A = this chain, B = another copy of it.
Amino acid sequence: MIDLNADLGEGFGIWRLGDDDALLAVVSSANVACGFHAGDPATMRRVCTRAVAAGVAVGAQVSYRDLAGFGRRFIDVAPGELTDDVLYQLAALDGIARTAGGRVTYVKPHGALYNAVVHHERQARAVVDAVVAYDPALAVLGLPGSTLLRLADESGLRTVAEGFADRGYTPAGVLVPRTEAGALVQDERTVVERAVRMATEGVVVAVDGTAVDVAVASVCLHGDTPGAVGLARAVRAALEEAGVAVTAFAP
């Protein structure tokens, strides 16, 4: 059993990014943009409605307030303000999801915020504070070993670790930085195989060839290129062929 998650609803106004409908047929969890890096209210409502219809779990993909930078630039926002920014996004999406017959069941930080809370104690704490304040029954989806998941766990939140079949891992089980060789796995068959092995054995082959334990409950897929959607479908098909059920961790 494994969860597949992807970012959805990342357009804004007239602009679209990725193929939301195609991905909703592949993933079990949709990280829905909440308006701060992408995602206008009409897009949020459409994605929530379709996710509910497809039986896909809805998560709040919360971000720094940065439409111009798509949330990909670190912002040194004060923790108190970050808590309130996350709370605002989370509440807005949850309200929309509820009118669509669903609800938000987890939170996943986006882009630069995702990267920041791997180590940035105060911002990680700020995100956790928002989730606890809104609903302590929500799960937090993030990088295994991150400060975010540690603090979320300490605060009594359910934490869910995710893996990346298209990213290289070090022998220590962490991602190879994007600036280093081996950061990206581009061969599609290899990506599919890595996804299956993560799901079935909890193991990934690191850049030095050793097999490393990666206990992940979700695999992150990408959908912002046509090729990515095809790859996402291939991953799901291979998982099902291997007898792995694709199921949301927080339905």
* Residues of A participating in the B interface, judged by any CB pair closer than 8 Å: 11-17, 35, 38, 40-42, 44-45, 65-70, 72-78, 80-81, 84-85, 87-96, 98-99, 112, 133-134
With known contacts A40-B68, A92-B95, A14–B13 Cβ distance under 8 A: no
| A88 and B94 contact, CB distance less than 8 A | no
| A87 and B81 contact, CB distance less than 8 A | no
The 4 A-B residue pairs with the shortest CB-CB distance, nearest first, are A91-B95, A15-B15, A41-B84, A41-B88
Contact sample, A vs B, 21 pairs, CB 8 Å cutoff: A12-B67, A12-B68, A13-B70, A14-B70, A15-B17, A41-B81, A41-B87, A42-B80, A45-B84, A73-B76, A74-B75, A75-B75, A87-B95, A87-B99, A88-B95, A89-B92, A90-B95, A91-B92, A92-B92, A95-B134, A99-B133
Chain B residues positioned under 8 Å from A72 (CB to CB): 14
| A95 and B94 contact, CB distance less than 8 A | yes
With known contacts A12-B15, A112-B76, A42–B81 Cβ distance under 8 A: yes
| B74 and A69 contact, CB distance less than 8 A | no
Smallest CB separation, A202 vs chain B (Å): 34
Separation of A78 and B29 alpha carbons in the complex (Å): 30
| A69 and B80 contact, CB distance less than 8 A | no
Separation of A76 and B96 alpha carbons in the complex (Å): 23
| A17 and B17 contact, CB distance less than 8 A | no
Chain B residues positioned under 8 Å from A67 (CB to CB): 12-13, 67
Chain B residues positioned under 8 Å from A88 (CB to CB): 35, 41, 44, 92, 95-96
With most chain B CB atoms within 10 A of its CB, the pick from A11, A85, A92 is: A92
Chain B residues positioned under 8 Å from A70 (CB to CB): 13-14
Separation of A99 and B65 alpha carbons in the complex (Å): 21
* Nearest-CB residue, chain B, relative to A42: B84
With most chain B CB atoms within 10 A of its CB, the pick from A66, A88, A90 is: A88
* Nearest-CB residue, chain B, relative to A67: B13
Chain B residues positioned under 8 Å from A35 (CB to CB): 88
With known contacts A13-B67, A65-B68, A95-B91, A77–B73 Cβ distance under 8 A: yes
Chain B residues positioned under 8 Å from A87 (CB to CB): 41, 45, 95-96, 99
Separation of A38 and B85 alpha carbons in the complex (Å): 14
